[in-house]
Amino acid sequence: MRCAVLWVLVLLGCQPRAGLDEVGAEVGALGRGLPRGFLWGTATSSHQIEGGLDNSWTEFEAGAFPDGRPHIRNEDRSTVATDSWNRFDEDLAAMQQLGATTYRFSVEWSRLEPRKGEWNDAAMERYRDWCLKLRAAGIEPMVTLHHFSLPRWVSDAGGFENPAIVDDLERFTRRVAKNLERQVDLWVTLNEPNVYAVQGYLAGVFPPGKKDDTVTQTKVIAMMLRAHAKMAAALRAVDDVDADGDGFATRVLVAHHVRTFQPATPSALDTAIAGLTDDYANEAIPRALKTGRVLLSVPGAITIDEQVEGLAGSVDLLGLNYYTRDMVRADLGSASLSQLTSRKGRAVNDLGWELYPDGLHGFLTRFAAYGWPMVVTENGLADRSGRLRTPFLVQHVTAIERAIRDGADVRGYAHWSLMDNFEWAEGYDAQFGLFTIEETTLRRLPTESVAPFRAIGANIPR
Ligand code: FCB
């Protein structure tokens, strides 16, 4: 029967949906296998939704690659984005439709400190107001302090290439923590140091747009970890108000991007390079957060082995952003030593990323060994058709429940994203939202996945 269905799909010219057929899209009792108090919600970032910004990204958006192609697909610009700066109430209404109990969002450094030492108190006040409204709605704010964008005064000075950023970010963190301590207990210092560095220095598709520079890329990750250590210490020193009375005033996370890497063939070389890639991209950051030792190596280019003060024990929870699996083929002539491909014949999202829920189970059970409780701080897919989102959601939550049964301590899930938004180099083409944005009115319109999302949330034990 299953074969017949697959054949019909093939004959209709559809992709065979291997990986999505196994569980289907039934919600049923899904959610009951999550622990009491499990946080259930969505994630966004300031640059992708607020609109009206002037930062390292808006500058990059205006530029082009040496061959003339625009930096952003279709020459899109973030400009007004989803206008969330002015439409928080609409965003909140969308979260309430989802039955959400958490919202992960970022505060925009370029807005709060547009010039060094010059603070925008009105903007701070607005973020505080958002947090108050979230709490009043029973939604736990999870605030990210750095999510890819930098003020121009910071990027002009070299961004994470310049050690000055460590103290600048520490000061910024203190200020934000002081202002939001009464509302916020969950703090994400940095979003995806590995992605920031790889996209900005290897792929060249994020600012500063440098290509094949694995030496600087690696130094940037190390700098981000130094900054994180100081930010974490600042948060713990400043925020001593337990906003929700659960016994914790400050819980520090890093939102760490993990990606399953497997060798494209069983050859010894592909296997070795897949292992190196996995260590660099997936393991090095949690290892550093646990031990304080930053150990990062690109053979033939750079090795950093450094004990960073304050890094060991600097997170209370590990945040994992999980999307996909890549197959690794060795290519010793390229800067990354590899070419990455998707496995043939598997369902993919609109960006060609394979839908691979087993990978999430794999990371949750693997990183359980570090001993931290974990939160899935991002997980989602670009799906313009909207047909894959519900099965994707069901399968990934199923993977989380399975990981919990297998011993992982998982405390929350934030779907990327609340609504379609400015997807960096992909512009507005890639649609990750549980809500779409009506083009002329910017109204938030629910997709078919809102009801199943809410139904899963309603099954979580209270
Ligand atoms: C992650 C980013 C997030 C979003 C998703 C699709 O790497 O953290 O901002 O772009 O990918």
Name the residue among 242, 273, 245, 279 with its Cα closest to residue 259: 279
**pTM flag (> 0.85):** yes
129-148 confidence digits (pLDDT tens):
999 999 999 999 999 999 99
Closest atom of ligand 1 to CA, residue 430 = 6
Q: State how many domains the chain has.
A: 1
| Residue 80 pLDDT exceeds 70 | yes
Query: Separation of 241 CA from ligand 1 center, angstroms?
Result: 30
What is the 8-class DSSP label of residue 462? Answer: -
Identify whether 6 is part of a domain: no
Q: Is residue 210 part of a domain?
A: yes
Structural domain of residue 279, as residue ranges? 20-459
Least confident of 24-38, 185-199, 372-386: 24-38
Per-residue pLDDT, 24: 65
Asked if residues 386 and 448 have their Cβ atoms less than 8 Å apart, the reply is yes
Residue 364 lies in a domain: yes
CA 421–ligand 1 middle distance (angstroms): 10
The residue written with tokens 């989803």 in the block is 82
Does the beta carbon of 432 lie inside 6 Å of ligand 1?
yes
Confidence label for 109 from pLDDT (cuts 50, 70 and 90)? very high
Cβ neighbours for 420, distance < 8 A, ≥ 6 positions apart: 82, 428, 431, 432, 433, 435, 436, 437
The number of angstroms, rounded, from the C-alpha of 359 to the middle of its chain's C-alpha atoms is: 16
In a domain, 310, yes or no: yes
What percent of the chain has a predicted confidence (pLDDT) above 70?
A: 95
Identify the residue with better confidence: 408 or 19.
408
- The pLDDT score that the predictor gives to residue 25 is 74
> Residue 430 maps to which CATH number?
3.20.20.80
The reply to whether 252 falls in a domain is: yes
Average pLDDT over residues 142-168: 99
| Residue 2 counted as domain residue | no
Residue 212's Cβ-side half-sphere holds a number of Cα atoms within 13 Å equal to 7
262-305 residue pLDDT tens: 999 999 999 999 999 999 999 999 999 999 999 999 999 999 99
- Span 353-369, pLDDT tens digits: 999 999 999 999 999 99
* Assigned domain for 57 exists: yes
The residue whose CA has the least distance to atom 4 of ligand 1 is: 423
Check the CA dihedral 326-332-333-334 and report its sign: positive
SS3 99: coil
For the chain, count helices (H), then strands (E): 15, 13
Token pair recorded at residue 105: 């969002």
Residue 156 domain flag: yes
Residue 125: per-residue pLDDT:
98
Ligand 1 pocket test: which of 192, 378, 422, 434 has the largest number of ligand atoms within 8 Å of its C-beta? 378
Give the burial string for 261-294 (b: 16+ CB within 10 Å, else e): bbbbeeeeebbebbebbbebbbebbbbbbbebeb
